[in-house]
């Protein structure tokens, strides 16, 4: 059976772990060649090796999406290695929570940088590349539909106490999605967004005391959720449980395959039915 994404070039930020990793493996399993990005080299390289082990093609582009030179390097990696660019998934990110009276400017800007400015820069850097690929395709009488999938959260759609920084950035990415869907229609590129509810990853996994941290961009950031809170949260989800990274990847995949070629500017909620928090 032919693969739906055969030969497509997919760029996926934050794909060393969690949802991004599952997206990378899912798209690669369906034939995409993947540019794997992560802050951390080891998990990114592990994903590259996993894709190669299943007969696919992948290359790593290590570094923070928040670095000012990252976008050009990321797009450049795809062009240099695969001479193309068909799918971009803006997934990299984390949370750094505080109630507003305790939130520092550093916390505020860190969330805007990673969840909003980074996707903006990546899409800005991709535009001239896509434009020239589209021109060449049109000259050859071809139409290739490209796909952008941005990642948001129920926190960006409904708000979440303690996440003024994160929810603002995740709300912003839905606006960027709708605007670029309008700008990029003439580039035969659909631009959609997936807003997750509660997906079990390092970001949300229950830890014994709820006090786990991870080093992210040189800072010790609290990760994980207290198990009691986790149980309470899961009860509020109509499907009665958090989602898996593989289930989360399924929603992104839907926007990447040809069956969704005429869908653009949409935000799909992938939350097990949760419509508020």
Ligand X SMILES: CC(C)C1=CC=C(C(=O)O)[C@@H](O)[C@H]1O
Closest contact distance (angstroms) between CB of 131 and ligand NAD is 26
Active-site residue flag, 166: yes
Considering only residues 218-237, where is the footprint of ligand X by CB under 6 A? 233
Residue 190 in the binding site for ligand X (CB under 6 A):
no
190 interacts with, out of ligand X, ligand NAD, none, CB within 5 to 8 A per kind: none
Closest contact distance (angstroms) between CB of 222 and ligand X is 10
What is the enclosing helix (H) or strand (E) of 53? Answer: helix 41-53
What is the enclosing helix (H) or strand (E) of 59? Answer: strand 58-62
Let me know: does 52 contact 58? Beta carbons within 8 Å.
yes
Crossing angle, helix 164-184 and helix 118-139, to 10 degrees? 10
Let me know: does 234 contact 274? Beta carbons within 8 Å.
no
**Cα–Cα dist 65/203, whole Å:** 18
- Cα-based distances in Å from 26 to 6, 91, 192, 193: 12, 14, 18, 17
Q: Print the binding letters for residues 67-96 with ligand X: x by CB under 6 A, - otherwise.
A: ----------------------------x-
**Cα–Cα dist 217/157, whole Å:** 26
Residue of 94, 166, 196, 253 with catalytic role: 166
Considering only residues 42-81, where is the footprint of ligand NAD by CB under 6 A? 43, 64-66
Buried b (16+ CB within 10 A) or exposed e, 126-163: beeebeebbeeeeeeeeeeebbbbbbbbbbbbbebeeb
Q: Which residue has the closest beta carbon to ligand X?
A: 153
Let me know: does 245 contact 18? Beta carbons within 8 Å.
yes
Q: Print the binding letters for residues 177-216 with ligand NAD: x by CB under 6 A, - otherwise.
A: -------------------x-xx-xxxx-----------x
Residue 271 in the binding site for ligand X (CB under 6 A):
no
Question: With contacts defined by CB under 6 A, how many residues of the chain interact with ligand NAD?
Answer: 31
Residue 155 in the binding site for ligand X (CB under 6 A):
yes
Closest contact distance (angstroms) between CB of 184 and ligand NAD is 21
**Cα–Cα dist 195/263, whole Å:** 16
Of 121 and 200, CB closest to ligand X: 200
Residues labelled catalytic: 166
- Contacting residues toward ligand X, per CB under 6 A: 95, 153-155, 160, 198, 203-204, 233, 277
- Contacting residues toward ligand NAD, per CB under 6 A: 13-14, 16-20, 37-40, 43, 64-66, 91-94, 114, 151, 153, 196, 198-199, 201-204, 216-217
């Amino acid at each position: 059976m032919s693969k739906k994404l055969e030969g497509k070039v997919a760029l996926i930020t934050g794909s060393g772990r969690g949802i991004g990793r599952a997206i990378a493996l899912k798209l690669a399993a369906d034939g995409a060649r993947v540019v794997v990005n992560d802050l951390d080299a080891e998990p990114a390289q592990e994903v590259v090796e996993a894709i190669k082990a299943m007969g696919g093609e992948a290359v790593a582009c290590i570094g923070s999406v928040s670095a000012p030179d990252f976008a050009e390097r990321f797009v450049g990696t795809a062009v240099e290695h695969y001479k193309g660019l068909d799918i971009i998934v803006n997934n990299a990110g984390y949370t750094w929570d505080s109630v507003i009276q305790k939130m520092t400017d550093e916390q505020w800007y860190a969330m805007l940088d990673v969840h909003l400015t980074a996707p903006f820069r990546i899409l800005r850097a991709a535009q001239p590349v896509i434009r020239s690929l589209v021109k060449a395709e049109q000259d050859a009488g071809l139409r290739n539909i490209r796909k952008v999938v941005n990642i948001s959260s129920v926190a960006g759609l409904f708000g979440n106490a303690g996440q003024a920084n994160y929810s603002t950035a995740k709300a912003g990415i839905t606006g960027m999605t709708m605007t670029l869907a309008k700008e990029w229609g003439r580039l035969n590129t659909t631009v959609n967004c997936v807003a997750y509810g509660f997906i079990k990853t390092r970001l949300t996994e229950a830890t014994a005391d709820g006090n786990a941290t991870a080093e992210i961009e040189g800072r010790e950031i609290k990760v994980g959720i207290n198990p009691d809170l986790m149980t309470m949260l899961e009860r509020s989800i109509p499907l009665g449980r958090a989602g898996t990274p593989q289930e989360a990847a399924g929603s992104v995949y839907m926007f990447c395959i040809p069956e969704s070629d005429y869908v653009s500017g949409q935000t799909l909620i992938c939350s097990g039915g949760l419509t508020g928090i």
